[in-house]
Amino acid sequence: MSSEETTIRRRAVVTGMVQGVGFRWSAREEARRLGVAGWARNRSDGSVEVEVEGAAADVERMIDWLRAGPPGSAVDDVRVSDAAPDGDDAFRIRQTD
């Protein structure tokens, strides 16, 4: 990321058939490919929550990827909201909420 690029953070809640299909691990690989940081975790309601931080264009590419998901998943909806950047330097998988 160049010094002119603004760092942003987005929170996304992904619903559909998104647990038990490798969604979080695939998201981590895509995040690494795009060079964004953050985390993903399963939620007790069956959704997956993801926070993504990085250059705006890269974060938006990650959000687009979340809308499609990995093979084997079936994404019904992605609710996206802004979050404050917190300086994450890697993408991690977190414990279920």
Query: Which are the catalytic amino acids?
Result: 24, 42
Does an H or E element contain 7, and which?
A: strand 7-17
* CA atoms of 69 and 88, how far apart (whole Å): 22
- Contact between 91 and 24 (Cβ < 8 Å): no
In the block, which residue shows the tokens 């990827």?
Answer: 65
d(CA 5, CA 24): 27
| Cα–Cα distance, 72 to 9 (Å, whole number) | 27
